[in-house]
Chains A and B, each alone.
Chain A
Amino acid sequence: MKNKQIDKQLIKNLAIIVIVFAAIEFLLYGDLLTRQFRSLLIPVCINVILAVSLNLTTGFLGELTLGHAGFMSVGAYTGALVTMNLNLPMIIEFPIALIAGGLVASLFGVIIGVPVLRLRGDYLAIVTLAFGEIIKSIINSLKITNGAMGLSNIELHGNYKNFGYVFFLTVITIFAIKNMVNSRQGRAVCSIRDNYIAAEAVGINVSKFKVMAFVVAAFFAGIAGVIYGHNVGTLKPTTFDYNKSIEILVIVVLGGMGSIKGSVIAAIILTILPEMLRSADEFRMFLYAVVLIAMMIFNSSQIKQRILSSDIFLKLKKTKKEA
């Protein structure tokens, strides 16, 4: 009985993914999208990957991390250097770049994860912030990364023409994180968030799971970085500063800590919103900030609660359960 339910859920999810993908491909190949929206497809995917992976550490592990852009930059630079130095066809070098970017980023996840094991809460947040800055200044002073000038002319393997790959990677990320959270490991990670002492008391190896969450999150952030580099074609250390980390955190908070679906929706909204406000010129970022405040207030307000508990919504939920 239970298996059947899971199967049904899986089929439903797959169906949604296929429909979304087909719809976007149709729009893309039919040339029905404006170029502005076409160029937003990849950034949306990148932000989804970043937000979902940050949600693992911030939402499920319950540790505020402010260095996610650092992992992203490590992945971006590794991936870019791989494709710039390998002269292989895209189909071979791009996957190598993705894996290399992810692995190097997760290596940094270990480096950061181990020393912060003893820290929690605010202390950990500050340490991750510092690590993000350290990564930025290392990239800034290395020769291979071309210092402050950054890398340019990175092959555009990750732009809209290869949307299929990027979409596939995004789906994999969502599935991987979702399944991980629902697995034994994921429950252990959540238990650390809910009650650290109790988790330790029942024999959960807190350090191990903490590092694991960091490493997995870093891996996917690295992949997002690789796609970013191969979409824009240039990389500069200043792109991956503290603001970038905050931007990702904002998506996670807006979508709801520990909600993967929320992260996906928030990533889509927050990537497209500033572009929709282009006509406002100088007031664009001001309006964006106002909308952000309004959304945050709405998200934690009674109005939302009331809508969620209103008759229509409850009935909708009921029919969903029955079906």
Chain B
Amino acid sequence: MKKVRLVALGLATTLALASLAGCQSKSETDTKQGTDTNTDTSTDSSANAGGETYVIGGIGPLTGDAASYGISVKQGAEIAIKEINDAGGVKVGDKTLQLSLKFEDDQATPDKAVTAYNSLMDSKMDALLGAVTSGSCLAVANLAQEDDILMLTPSGSAQDITKNTNVFRLCFTDPLQGETMAEHMITDLKFKNVAVIYKNSDEYSTGVYEAFAKKVAELGGTITTAEAFADGEDFNTQLTSIKGTDAEAIFAPIYYGDASHIVTQAADLSMTLPFFGSDGWDGILDTVTDKATVEGATFLSPFFSGDKAAADFVTKYNEAYKATPDQFAADGYDGVYVIKAALEKAASTKTADLVKAMTEISVDGLTGEKISFTEDGEPQKAAKFIKIVNGEYTAE
């Protein structure tokens, strides 16, 4: 008898919990719609036919090691969405849509990205701005094709991501960065012998390095030594080995965390070779202890917060989040505007129309003027070289 009662109690609790969970999500959407209609009425009452919302989903790391990237993209996108909604929304055909962003955490792991993607589909995502990291992009790209959804990755740079027709990317691919830097160093700056230090456990670093090495050989330069590391904070072995060669410059396609250790240790070894980096170097001035060690270093970046065109965004970002935006924030911001442009051009919210419109638009963004997209999903925009002069980033 008791047993039956206990089972019944158990069932009742689960039921109650389940309904509670249901309620919670429902009330959430209710309030969301509520606020949406509020903003609708406050901004423009005449243009709104029903006040529909277009949901942009985002996937990126909000926790874990790579959290700063995801958070930056999310915050940049939020600013863009607020700007667009404050200006009345997006005019799609004869309707005006409000945008809303729903950003889910994937901890930069592919399997979490899949659940994040599915959870976004549960919340009726219309287009995907993501994922932020390459591995996650590869994991969700096929799902997005199955569901027929426009996918625009702000920062996923692995080559294979844009294989599907519905996937576009806003950043440069890893190989393109390597090639651009090789041309800059060998053709523009006339270096003959270059040393490389890269992280072989990282797909980004390896991808940039491989293309760089190929291009350098093509242009007649020599890579004196390519020093690989997997993890760690001690680079003395690699640096000493580079010091023993007749390299004129060091190319380090790595993230700023490792880069700051490397430049400090190079200075300790009294090495004066100029450093060149990939876009992962953005943010190095905040992590390096002595700014003199990175003096003269040059890296590629699509975005420069000191640009005049970006001034407005930088102020808004600073007001909202008390921080200077990095390239990921700019990528997120531009991503939203690209989706907006595609919506306006297509005059429809159908994915097939949006994909077609993507190849026809040209957007003046923070990460490049007149950004357009090829049918392969690759962006066409100019790269910016950023040089550290007197302890500050300057556009070259």
Contact A234 B62 (CB under 8 A): no
Decide if A150 touches B118 in the complex (CB within 8 Å): no
The one of B3, B103, B104 that contacts A316, using a Cβ cutoff of 8 Å = B3
How does the 8 Å CB contact mask read for B192-206 relative to A, with 1 for contact and 0 for none? Answer: 000000001111011
Residues of B near A39 (CB, < 8 A) are 114-115, 117-118
Tell me, in angstroms, the Cα distance from A137 to B21 when the chains sit together: 43
By a CB distance below 8 angstroms, the chain A residues around B105 are 278, 281-282, 284
A256 contacts the other chain (Cβ, under 8 Å)? no
Write the nearest CB–CB distance from A285 to chain B, whole angstroms. 4
Interface residues of A in 6-43 (CB under 8 A from B): 34-36, 38-40, 43
Docked Cα-Cα span, A239 to B135, in Å, equals 10
Which residues from A are CB-within-8-Å of B138? 152-153, 233-234
Contact B122 A36 (CB under 8 A): yes
Is the contact region of chain B dominated by helix, strand, or loop, or is it mixed?
A: helix
Q: How far is the CA of A152 from the CA of B141 in the complex (A)?
A: 11
Known: A39-B118, A141-B200, A153-B160. A228 touches B62 (CB 8 A): no
* Complex Cα spacing A312 to B116, Å: 41
B64 at the interface (CB under 8 A from A): yes
B367 contacts the other chain (Cβ, under 8 Å)?
no
**A293 within 8 Å of B (CB atoms):** no
Give the bracket for the number of chain B residues in contact with chain A. 35 or more
Tell whether B107 is near chain A: CB-to-CB under 8 Å: yes
Q: Is the pair B3, A234 in contact by a Cβ cutoff of 8 Å?
A: no
With a cutoff of 8 Å between Cβ atoms, the chain A residues found around residue B202 in the complex are 148, 238
Partner of A285 from the list B64, B135, B160 (CB cut-off 8 Å) is B64
Decide if B6 is an interface residue (CB 8 Å cutoff): yes
- Is A150's CB under 8 angstroms from B64's CB? no
Does B144 interact with chain A (Cβ within 8 Å)? no
Interface residues on A, range: 35 or more
Is the pair B230, A140 in contact by a Cβ cutoff of 8 Å? yes
Q: Which chain B residues border A152 with CB–CB below 8 Å?
A: 138, 160
- How far is it, in angstroms, between the C-alpha of A141 and the C-alpha of B230 when the chains are bound? 10
CB distance from A92 to the nearest CB of B (A): 22
Contact of B118 (CB < 8 Å), options: A35, A141, A156, A286: A35
B118, A137: Cβ atoms closer than 8 Å: no
- What is the interface of chain A, defined by CB distance below 8 A to chain B? 34-36, 38-40, 43, 137, 140-141, 147-150, 152-153, 156, 228, 231-234, 236-239, 275-276, 278-279, 281-282, 284-286, 312, 315-316, 319
Query: What are 16 A-to-B residue pairs whose CB atoms are below 8 Å?
Result: A35-B122, A39-B115, A39-B117, A40-B115, A147-B206, A149-B203, A152-B138, A153-B138, A231-B114, A232-B139, A233-B138, A236-B110, A239-B111, A282-B63, A282-B105, A315-B2
Chain B residues proximal to chain A, CB less than 8 Å: 2-3, 6, 21, 24, 28, 62-64, 67, 71, 103-105, 107, 109-111, 114-119, 121-122, 135, 138-139, 142, 158, 160, 200-203, 205-207, 230
